[in-house]
Amino acid sequence: MPIAPSPVQQRSPLDRFAEFIAQFVPDAITASIILLLLLGAFALLLGNSPIELAGAYYRGFWSLLPFTSQMTLTIVLGAALGTSPWFQRWIGWSARLPRSRNQLVALAVILTASFSYCFWSLGYALGPLVAVLFAKEAERKGMPLHFPFFLGTIYASIAVWQFGLSSSAPLLVATEGHFLEKIIGVIPLARTIWSPAALLDIALYTAATVTAGCLLMPKSNRPLSDYPGALQLAQPVTLPPAEPRTYSERLEVRPYTVLILSAALAVWLWYHFAERASGANINSMNIILFLLTLMFHGNIRAVTKALENASVSAWPILILYPLYAALSGMIEFTRIGVTITSFLSAASSPTTFPALSAVIGTVFAFFIPSSGGQWALQGLVTVNASQAVGVSVERGLLSMQVGDHMGNLISPFWYVITAGMLRMDFRTFFGYGLVYAVIWFVIGIVVFTFAPC
């Protein structure tokens, strides 16, 4: 889909920057091919043979299949939930509260950040819906809104999940039996995501995102109606009022079939949280999303229609995850990973360590779309480097997470998934997201260099 530029006389410097970037940034599949060539050449220079490269690529290709399925469910269920009339009314009601554009930007950012803090997949699944419904309300009220920039702002607010309740690495090291327990023991969440530094980072970044979203909004009005594909996300599922004629059709529209399945899912959640005393994870979140989707749509026919419409959002995950997992395999199973990460301990001092850790984390995040997978690969070296330069393991872990999301903000991977939900070209808002990448990185480095953690 071509990107419609703003009128020349209304284009701001930020518009020109975004349009310039859009001309050169490749799509995520092309980016994976470019990275494949670069990594292959690097591994050969380090002494790996072509056969070793092929083996590493193959080992990585299928390594994220369970995670791919989980993420597919998350995006499809989140999108289906978002099309339920009740859920759209609730977010639509929230969108009607602001009386000015700045208030609208602030509330949309805070709402999306809250979703993300509770669980990262909620931010990615529901953030696009928040952007669309708030932009729709802005257009109804006659508020001039630059939708691509606004979407980039909402996308950027998802970053707070890195220090939220579903943050992978902190949850892992807080769990008995994790793979680094013999070296660092069990680190409670009070010293990672609930440390003063992490809480300060969330507060500063959220405030900075709101401020940038208000002050940097281009003056040119590019309303939601200019993007009909995205506008479809704001349409609740509607079914023709045909009277069911057969017994099976009556089952599809009766509420008791949904109630039976909802009860079964509720029992699973009770068993997971109460009987097993397990914490939140992507499986439990998908069950919650499924349960909410059933309850808010009310019958199987509406649920099926919503899932059918939402499934178009899943293709980037199904294709991109294996491609990027293969690149991860090339890093993990060749000399590339050791070479890159060993540089961290050799070049660091207590002052420079957080910045270097974040930079290395950014490099790995280009190739590993899983935060937990990145910690599995980079965790041991981060721990050893932290101890070698005399900083806490917690500081090294949290600095690495700054880099992890920096990769999400400057690579096309997650942009493509978000754009897939909106039926639009990811380049439309990619350039604006880079502005927030700078804000995220600067705040993170300053906080985790100097604040207590």
Instruction: Identify whether 109 is part of a domain.
Output: yes
* Side-chain half-sphere CA neighbours of 177 within 13 A: 0
Q: CA separation (Å) from 38 to 33, 264, 307, 330?
A: 9, 49, 39, 11
Q: CA separation (Å) from 400 to 360, 391, 407, 443?
A: 8, 13, 11, 14
Instruction: Identify whether 207 is part of a domain.
Output: yes
Q: Which domain holds residue 90?
A: 29-236+251-450
CA 308, 310, 311, 312 dihedral sign is: positive
Question: Token pair of 122, please?
Answer: 């909620």
User: Are 67 and 317 spatial neighbours (Cβ–Cβ below 8 Å)?
Assistant: no
User: Are 124 and 143 spatial neighbours (Cβ–Cβ below 8 Å)?
Assistant: no
Instruction: Identify whether 231 is part of a domain.
Output: yes
Please, is 349 exposed, middle or buried when counting C-beta atoms within 10 Å of its C-beta (0-12, 13-18, 19+)? Answer: exposed
Give the gyration radius of the chain's Cα atoms: 23
User: Are 134 and 102 spatial neighbours (Cβ–Cβ below 8 Å)?
Assistant: no
Number of domains into which the chain is organized: 1
**What SS3 class is residue 267?**
helix
User: Are 115 and 292 spatial neighbours (Cβ–Cβ below 8 Å)?
Assistant: no
Residue 253 has a CB neighbour count (10 Å cut-off) of: 17
Q: CA 105, 108, 114: angle at the middle one, nearest 5?
A: 135
What is the reported pLDDT for 193? 93
Q: What is the 3-state secondary structure (H, E, C) of 320-362?
A: HHHHHHHHHHHHHCCCHHHHHHHHHHHHCCCCCHHHHHHHHHH
**What is the distance between the alpha carbons of residues 9 and 16, in angstroms, rounded to a whole number?**
11
Question: What string of pLDDT tens digits covers the 453 residues of the chain?
Answer: 444 444 444 678 899 888 888 888 888 888 889 989 999 999 999 999 999 999 999 998 987 788 788 878 888 888 888 788 888 888 999 999 999 999 999 999 999 999 999 888 788 888 999 999 999 999 999 999 999 999 999 999 999 999 998 887 888 788 777 778 888 998 988 999 999 999 999 999 999 999 999 999 998 899 999 999 898 877 766 665 666 667 777 777 788 899 999 999 999 999 988 988 877 667 887 898 899 999 999 889 889 988 988 888 788 888 888 888 888 788 878 998 778 767 766 777 889 999 998 998 898 787 676 676 677 667 777 888 888 888 999 999 999 999 999 999 998 888 988 998 898 999 999 999 999 999 999 999 999 999 998
Sequence length of the chain is 453
**What is the distance between the alpha carbons of residues 191 and 182, in angstroms, rounded to a whole number?**
18
Instruction: Identify whether 21 is part of a domain.
Output: no
Q: Where are the beta strands (DSSP E) in 138-289?
A: none
**What is the distance between the alpha carbons of residues 344 and 272, in angstroms, rounded to a whole number?**
40
What is the reported pLDDT for 117? 94
Instruction: Identify whether 402 is part of a domain.
Output: yes
CA 364, 369, 374, 376 dihedral sign is: negative
Indicate the residue type of 370. S
Q: CA 302, 292, 109: angle at the middle one, nearest 5?
A: 110
What is the reported pLDDT for 5? 46
Q: Maximum distance among all alpha carbons in the chain?
A: 74
User: Are 95 and 133 spatial neighbours (Cβ–Cβ below 8 Å)?
Assistant: yes
Q: CA separation (Å) from 178 to 96, 183, 192, 376, 380?
A: 46, 10, 16, 10, 12
Instruction: Identify whether 425 is part of a domain.
Output: yes
User: Are 124 and 333 spatial neighbours (Cβ–Cβ below 8 Å)?
Assistant: no
What is the reported pLDDT for 12? 84
User: Are 40 and 330 spatial neighbours (Cβ–Cβ below 8 Å)?
Assistant: yes
Instruction: Identify whether 391 is part of a domain.
Output: yes
User: Are 135 and 429 spatial neighbours (Cβ–Cβ below 8 Å)?
Assistant: no
**What SS3 class is residue 222?**
strand
Q: What is the residue-wise DSSP string for 177-199?
A: T-TTHHHH----GGGTTTSHHHH
- Which residue in the block uniquely carries the two structure tokens 């940097």? 216
User: Are 373 and 170 spatial neighbours (Cβ–Cβ below 8 Å)?
Assistant: no
What is the reported pLDDT for 182? 86
Instruction: Identify whether 23 is part of a domain.
Output: no
